[in-house]
Structure formats: C-alpha cells, structure tokens
Amino acid sequence: MQTTIFDLSSLKKYSAVSFGVACFILNACQPPMTSMTGNVSIETKGQTNQVQINQANQNLTVNYENLMGYKWSLIRAENNKGEPIAEFNNLSDKQKKQIRLTFQKRDEAQVLYGDKPHFMLYSIGCNTMGKGFKLQGNTLATDASGGGTTMGCGKVERKMEHKMSELLGEDSQLSISSSPQVTLTFITQNNNKLVWTGEATARTKYGVEPTLFRLQVAPQMVGCENDSSKSCLLVREVHYEEYTGKQIIDGQWHMIISSIEGYQHENALSTIVVERYRPTSEKVIHDVWVATESVDYMIKSNTQIPK
C-alpha cells in the first residue's frame, strides 16, 4: 500500500451536502466541508489556548455562546424535595460522564424541530436524542417532543432516557457558575434540579473556527515515517456528489502523523467526521484534529456516514 504524509493540497474542493434529519441524529452537521490543504507538523511548544474566565465573577452569562461552548456531563439530579432522582441515583462516575448534553445552532443542523431556533442533543450512553430550544433571558424554553436514534437499549437505559426526556421537556431556569469549575444548573418548571459540569469544546479551547472533513480510516495502523517505533493512522477523504448522493473516495491513502482527539481506533474500516483546527497561538504550530460527537455512534454501528 502506497502512503504519503498527510499533505492533501492536491485534493479537489467539493460542495457540502445537506444531511437533514440524519445529521441531527448523528450530530454530524457542521459548517461546509472543504478539501484539505497544507502540511501537518507535529511539533508543539507549550499548551493550547484555554478559555479565559474572570474568576472574580463567579457566574457566566446565560447565553447561546456559553451554552454551546461546552460539552456538559451530569453531576447530579434532584427532585423537588432535594432528593436524588431514582433513575440517576447510585451511578458511577463513568456512568455519569456518559450522560451528556450539547447545544447546537439550527443553521449548523439544517433542521428545525417545532418553533425553536436551536436544539440540544443529549444521551445517557445509548441513543442520542434532541429537542428544539430557545433562550428568553435565563429561561430555557424547549419543545416537549423531539427526535433521536432508535438503537436497542437495556431496560435501565430506557428508563433513564425517558426520564431525561421528561426533565428536559420542561422549561427551566438556567445558571452557569465558573468556579471552581464550569457548571450548568437547570431548575425545571416542576422544581427538579439538574447540575452539569462543562468541558470546553475544541472551538472554545482553540479560539478558531474548524474545517470539517469526512475521513475513512484504514483498519491497520502503520509505522510513522518520521518515527517507525510509533504507529500512525492511514486515512482517505470521503465526500458525496451533491445531486446523486453517490459516495466518492479519494483512492490515495495518506498518513496522518498527529493524533485525532476523541477518536479511539478499532481494527475495522470506519468513516468518521473530524474537525481540523489551525490555532492562532504562536505556542501551537501544528494542526489539531478533533473527532466530532458522531464518532461514538459511527464506531458502534460500524456504518458509513449517510448523505
């Protein structure tokens, strides 16, 4: 198999494809994807830019930017008596981290549920579900109904999904605290309480907009050309004809010599969506590759990204 360093300056540009509801399900819809250009260097000096928070002010403004700037994981869930909600009680830290919430712009999703201009995606570790929402001051107004994937889950997981959909279907009062860690608190219409911890998204960390690509990843890793003692991924670009939806794959395999954040390789052919960041900080002189939320689903289902 012939390989080259990941320099894709010769690849053609292509048009983004509208994914519709399928994108909502996979959380794969983002700004238009373009062809890859430029060399990738792996040398780094120092740390990436981190979100700057005024520690003197313990609260962040509840706005779209701050909601979308983090990936949220559940810390605790309490009923209107201050007692743990049964469906989310006695969970391990690992199980809690699997209960995730993200917020998306409608123009990135190219889909609208109900009359709300944005939507939120949530998962308890099985299906990915979503509801439309809008902000009115600190009030989060949501659609009672929504959509999502329909994978088979266990009885416990189904109960958790149903309860989370019920809780997030209520309008809520929001607050965001920045110290000692970024936390998002929901007080629902029925006085239930959900507390989430925030992990800055790649866009927030690196301070630049990404370029998105679909990549097919080869099952077997190979020795890196710059250091054969290390293993590197082989990838090639995937896109679709705008009108026919026919899949087009760049036949040339390329070696990517930097890791992909959030991607765990399995020995199987898979297609993933990745974001490429080119940080403006002088301390970071390499491209940063980040797998999107859809990766978890794509690996589990072992399917290709649909049009």
Q: State pLDDT tens for residues 246-261.
A: 778 877 898 887 778 8
Beta bridge partners of 230: none
Residue 141 is predicted with a pLDDT of 92
Specify the pLDDT at position 115.
56
Within a domain: 30:
yes
Give the residue numbers spanning the domain of 212: 4-49+207-301
List helix spans (H) across 70-192. 93-97, 106-109, 155-168
Sign of CA dihedral 76, 79, 82, 84: negative
Split into its structural domains, the chain has a count of: 2
- 191 lies in the same domain as 169: yes
Strands (E), 30-93: 59-60, 70-78
Record the tokens describing residue 161, joined without a space.
Answer: 């999904």
Q: Are residues 163 and 287 in the same domain?
A: no
Say how far apart CA 147 and CA 158 lie, in whole Å: 15
The single residue listed with the structure tokens 């049964």 is 86
Residues 66 and 41 in one domain: no
Cβ pair 113, 147 in contact under 8 A: yes
How high is the pLDDT of residue 131? Answer: 87
Residues 159 and 278 in one domain: no
Q: Tell me the two tokens of residue 243.
A: 């009108």
- pLDDT for 101 equals 95
99 lies in the same domain as 133: yes
Same domain, 265 and 152: no
Domain termination residue (choose one: 147, 172, 202): 202
Looking at the fold, whether 88 and 220 belong to one and the same domain comes out as no
Please state the separation of Cα 90 from the chain's center in Å.
27
Structural domain contains residue 115: yes
CA-to-CA distance for 139 and 133, rounded, in angstroms?
Answer: 10
> What is the pLDDT, as a whole number, of residue 106?
64
- Predicted pLDDT at 256: 81
pLDDT value at residue 291: 79
Residues 12 and 29 in one domain: yes
- Asked if residue 307 is part of any domain, the answer here is no
How far apart, in whole angstroms, are the C-alpha atoms of residue 177 and residue 181?
7
How far apart CA 214 and CA 72 sit, in angstroms, is 25
Distance CA 283, CA 194 (A): 38
Separation CA 46–CA 188 (nearest Å): 42
Same domain, 22 and 74: no
CA distances from 282 to 109, 206, 259, 289 (A): 33, 12, 20, 18
Q: Is residue 273 part of a domain?
A: yes
Q: Which amino acid is present at 216?
A: Q
Residue 306 lies in a domain: no
Of 32, 50, 294, 40, whose CA–CA distance to 182 is shortest? Answer: 50
Please state the separation of Cα 157 from the chain's center in Å: 21
- pLDDT score of 199: 93
Give me the pLDDT at residue 200, please: 92
Domain holding 144: CATH number?
Answer: 2.40.128.270
Listed residues 142, 173, 202: the one ending a domain:
202
Check residue 282 and give its pLDDT.
54
Strands 147-148 and 183-188 turn out to be unpaired
Say whether 248 sits in a helix, a strand or coil.
strand
Which stretches of the chain drop beneath a pLDDT of 70?
1-57, 106-116, 144-145, 279-286, 293-307
160 contacts 123 by C-beta, under 8 angstroms: no
In a domain, 228, yes or no: yes
Choosing from 175, 202, 229, the residue where a domain stops is: 202
Model pLDDT, residue 254: 87
Residue 304: the pLDDT is: 35
**pLDDT on residue 277:** 82
Claim to verify: residue 185 and residue 226 sit in the same structural domain: no
Residues 173 and 211 occupy one common structural domain: no
**101/145 same-domain check:** yes
135 DSSP 8-state letter: E
Interatomic CA distance for residues 286 and 45, integer angstroms: 10
